[in-house]
Amino acid sequence: MSDITEATLRHEIAHLARVELLSPKPQETEDFFTKLLGMYVTKREGQSTYLRGYEDPYQWSLKITESAEPGLGHMGLRTTSPEALDRRLDSLRADGNECNWIPDGEELGYGKTFAFKSADGHNIHIMWEADNYVAPPELSSKIVTRKSRKPLQGMPVKRLDHLNLMASDVGGVRDTFERNLGFRTTESVLDGDTQIGAWMSSNILGHEVACMRDMTGGKGRLHHIAFFYGNAQHNIDAAEMFREYDIEIEAGPDTHGITQGQFLYVFEPGGNRIELFGEPGFLHLQPDLETQIWQLSDIDTGLAIGGAKLPWETYFTYGTPSPLPLAEHREKFADFGPGAAPAEEPVSVSS
């Protein structure tokens, strides 16, 4: 298995299959995803609810679990084959990562899975076995690639798209995704020589996993998870819906220069940042395009092609879990800015 070529390594991971989100307000969080974002509930069990968008391929792409603090439970990547699962395990262990098989049946609708932690402490699951979702007749779609009929509730998202990890050590997180999981870094932001952001993919999408520097010095936090509309107007419509239904909008709709993806950032009631993803942006068909670099001097275009401003007091400093609730965080960081020193008491997060 050591003879996997670089070209082959790039296709070991198929895609981001699922995310577990922690919420101190699980019912409000569930309502956000079902009533506003039109997701289907697959099952409620224990402290968790399992959901899927109408084009998500498996039993669930989102698990909401009650927790004292918001944040990422785990992210789950699916390999392209059973052999790839074994090879990824070997590769991660060979580089000294602790990997553990999770108990059979622990995650509804998925099989044999191992877990490890990113360099910054994020929980990552890898699996091959995943039950294909087949809709009951009353939910089946006439469009054969559509796993279930688009619901008539709210503004339904199609599927889970990507997630963004905040990290104290962007380079370390990136290293694992590249070396052990075969992701390529499509775009990167440099502050001089320091890497402060990396967008990574195992297929032709601009990213399924991104990692941005935690400007507060925190470790292993979640920046956001993103759900896919694939359409600019749906982001505009969603912004109006969030405004009308009392969901706080952080920024957007606009288009990032980075990835050329269309963004809309909001905070779900549990405190996690959620992105609605409009057009998917640049597709990396060219197999040998090197990582595209953004210098901080050009970052304005990188952050937003239109006039949107990503607010320093939240976008670059707030992740989940957070030492302070969102409103207090915003107040505390209101006077900081791109050039300001971070808080004297380092804003760190216990894992």
For a second copy, the binding residue among 20, 30, 169, 250 (CB under 8 A) is: 250
For a second copy, the binding residue among 32, 33, 110, 294 (CB under 8 A) is: 294
Whole-angstrom Cα distance, residue 198 to residue 209? 9
One character per residue 216-235, x = contact with a second copy (rule: CB under 8 A): --------------xxxxx-
**Please, which residue, 32 or 169, has the CB nearer to a second copy?**
32
**Contact between 297 and a second copy (CB under 8 A)?**
no
Phi-psi region of 252 (alpha: psi -120 to 50; beta: other; left: phi over 0): left
**Contact between 312 and a second copy (CB under 8 A)?**
no
**Please, which residue, 38 or 271, has the CB nearer to a second copy?**
38
**Contact between 244 and a second copy (CB under 8 A)?**
yes
For a second copy, the binding residue among 27, 45, 106, 293 (CB under 8 A) is: 293
**Please, which residue, 308 or 349, has the CB nearer to a second copy?**
308
For a second copy, the binding residue among 18, 74, 78, 213 (CB under 8 A) is: 78
Longest Cα–Cα distance of the chain, Å, equals 59
One character per residue 16-45, x = contact with a second copy (rule: CB under 8 A): -------------------xx---------
For a second copy, the binding residue among 19, 251, 274, 303 (CB under 8 A) is: 251
- Of 130-169, binders to a second copy (CB under 8 A) are 132, 141-146, 149-150, 152-154, 159
Count of residues engaged in binding a second copy, rule: CB under 8 A = 83
Shortest CB 214 distance to a second copy, Å? 22
Contact status, residue 151 vs residue 54, Cβ threshold 8 Å: yes
Q: Which residues contact 71 (CB under 8 A, 6 or more apart)?
A: 21, 22, 221, 222, 272, 320, 321
Whole-angstrom Cα distance, residue 327 to residue 333? 10
CA contacts within 13 A on the Cβ side of 1: 13
**Please, which residue, 226 or 308, has the CB nearer to a second copy?**
308
How far, CA to CA in Å, does 339 sit from each of 215, 289, 295, 304, 333?
A: 11, 33, 16, 19, 13
- Of 166-205, binders to a second copy (CB under 8 A) are 186-187, 203-205
DSSP state of 17: E
Contact status, residue 68 vs residue 24, Cβ threshold 8 Å: yes
For a second copy, the binding residue among 71, 109, 220, 253 (CB under 8 A) is: 253
Give, for 233, the enclosing helix (H) or strand (E).
helix 232-244
Residue matched to tokens 């599927």? 159
What is the length of the chain?
351
**Please, which residue, 43 or 309, has the CB nearer to a second copy?**
309
**Cβ atoms within 10 Å, residue 328:** 11
Whole-angstrom Cα distance, residue 75 to residue 271? 18
- Both tokens assigned to 161: 């798209």
For a second copy, the binding residue among 30, 169, 254, 268 (CB under 8 A) is: 254
- Of 54-73, binders to a second copy (CB under 8 A) are 55, 57-58
Using the contact rule CB under 8 A, the part of the chain among 96-104, 212-220, 301-309, 340-348 near a second copy is 301-309
